[in-house]
């Protein structure tokens, strides 16, 4: 059976940077915490805990040591709370997320009602909303064209969660334009996501089965799994090699492998090694 790895797969720049910063902090003395799980990958979070990097959900739960802001970033209020806490703050916000936060604030300062295209409740989206609201803007979060409010009025500014698909942004923009509005658009989609999605789509279209590796709580991995399922009916989303079942691949000549932006290379290598051993 031929095993093909997608041209772009696995840990992106922002996730790798956050992991490196966390591991670097763990080498120093004193407790290290991340505000929420560092990445949406249970295996990696467990591994970090063994190395002394623990998850807390609230700043108030920590009274000494280092606290790490994860790649999704935080709201300005949380940032202020962290700065006032006396803890050493390591900011691992992905620079692409910081750019999206600045874009949201800029649209708001320009007098726009801000539409955030993204997943309601996602920490990155919460950060984008808060950055726009702090500048006095009214904010709507839309995850699909169906969510676009009917009472929009100009000027509208659009900013996008970095892991969104271009097709979804275009569909939302189409719906806003149907309401007679030409929005100001800050396309803040990260190319890491687009590259992984394009490579997964291309590969899934030419193999007998596809394996998508990454946390079930990772939105970018879930989106990769959706894309693969559309192209290849035998697509499997797993968090680790242990979930694979050899029976899935009995009649396959070719299997493709891809992984979300929060999946480290070691997890991809383990899956590829397993499939190659069948
Ligand atoms: S997907 Fe892009 S924006 Fe998100 S952490 Fe990775 S590099 Fe940063």
| Residue partners of 39: CB distance under 8 A and separation at least 6 | 15, 18, 19, 45, 70, 71, 215, 218, 262
3-state secondary structure of 118: coil
Residue 237 alpha carbon to ligand 1 centre in Å: 20
Q: E-strand spans in 70-186?
A: 88-91, 113-117, 139-142, 156-160, 184-186
- Position 110 scores a pLDDT of 97
- Ligand 1 atom 2: the closest Cα is on which residue? 190
135 is catalytic: no
- Position 244 scores a pLDDT of 98
- How far from chain centre, in Å, is Cα 172? 20
CA distance 89 to 276: 43
Q: Which atom of ligand 1 is nearest to the CA of 95?
A: 8
CA distance 200 to 31: 39
Residue 162 alpha carbon to ligand 1 centre in Å: 7
DSSP state of 112: P
Q: Which atom of ligand 1 is nearest to the CA of 193?
A: 1
Topology of domain 2-10+192-277, CATH: Cobalt-precorrin-4 Transmethylase; domain 1 (3.40.1010)
| Residue partners of 18: CB distance under 8 A and separation at least 6 | 38, 39, 68, 70, 71, 92, 94
CA distance 158 to 185: 5
Q: Which atom of ligand 1 is nearest to the CA of 190?
A: 2
The pick from 20, 36, 71 for probing ligand 1's pocket by mutation, whose C-beta has the most ligand atoms within 8 angstroms, reads: 71
Residue 214 alpha carbon to ligand 1 centre in Å: 15
CA distance 221 to 122: 14
Candidates 239, 125, 244; CA nearest to 188 is 125
3-state secondary structure of 133: helix
Please answer whether residues 232 and 205 qualify as being in contact, where contact means their C-beta atoms are separated by less than 8 angstroms: yes
CATH number attached to the domain at 96-189: 3.40.1010.20
Q: Which residues line ligand 1 (CB under 6 A)?
A: 12-15, 71, 94, 96-97, 162-163, 190, 192-193, 261
Q: Which atom of ligand 1 is nearest to the CA of 15?
A: 5
Range(s) for CATH 3.40.50.11270 in the chain?
A: 13-94
- Position 40 scores a pLDDT of 82
Please answer whether residues 68 and 56 qualify as being in contact, where contact means their C-beta atoms are separated by less than 8 angstroms: no
Range(s) for CATH 3.40.1010.20 in the chain?
A: 2-10+192-277, 96-189
- Which residue is catalytic, options 24, 57, 64, 124? 124
Residue 55 pairs in a beta bridge with 34
Residue 14 alpha carbon to ligand 1 centre in Å: 5
Per-residue confidence in pLDDT tens, the chain, 278 aa: 999 999 999 999 999 999 999 999 999 877 999 999 998 888 889 999 999 999 999 999 999 999 999 999 999 999 999 999 999 999 999 999 999 999 999 999 999 999 999 999 999 999 999 999 999 999 999 999 999 999 998 999 999 999 888 899 999 999 999 989 999 999 999 989 889 999 999 999 999 999 999 999 888 899 899 999 999 999 999 999 999 999 999 999 999 999 998 898 999 999 999 999 99
Indicate the class that CATH gives domain 13-94: alpha beta
């Amino acid at each position: 059976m031929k095993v093909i790895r997608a041209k772009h797969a696995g840990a992106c720049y922002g996730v790798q940077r956050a992991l490196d910063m966390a591991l670097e902090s763990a080498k120093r003395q004193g407790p290290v915490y991340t505000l929420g799980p560092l990445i949406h990958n249970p295996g990696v979070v467990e591994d970090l805990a063994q190395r002394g990097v623990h998850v807390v959900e609230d700043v108030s739960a920590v009274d000494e040591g280092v606290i790490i802001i994860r790649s999704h970033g935080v709201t300005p209020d949380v940032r202020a709370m962290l700065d006032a806490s006396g803890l050493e703050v390591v900011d691992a916000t992905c620079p692409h997320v910081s750019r999206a936060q600045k874009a949201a604030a800029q649209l708001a300062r320009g007098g726009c009602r801000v539409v955030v295209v993204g997943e309601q409740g996602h920490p990155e989206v919460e950060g984008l909303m808060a950055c726009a609201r702090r500048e006095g803007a009214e904010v709507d979060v839309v995850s699909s064209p169906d969510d676009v409010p009917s009472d929009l009025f100009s000027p509208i500014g659009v900013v996008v969660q970095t892991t969104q698909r271009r097709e979804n942004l275009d569909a939302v923009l189409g719906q806003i334009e149907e309401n007679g509005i030409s929005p100001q658009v800050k396309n803040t989609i990260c190319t890491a996501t687009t590259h992984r999605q394009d490579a997964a789509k291309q590969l899934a279209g030419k193999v007998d089965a596809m394996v998508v590796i990454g946390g079930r709580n990772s939105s970018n991995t879930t989106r990769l799994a959706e894309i693969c399922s559309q192209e290849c009916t035998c697509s499997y989303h797993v968090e680790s090699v242990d979930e694979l079942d050899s029976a899935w691949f009995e009649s396959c000549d070719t299997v493709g492998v891809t992984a979300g932006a929060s999946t480290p290379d070691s997890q991809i290598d383990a899956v590829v090694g397993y499939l190659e051993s069948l």
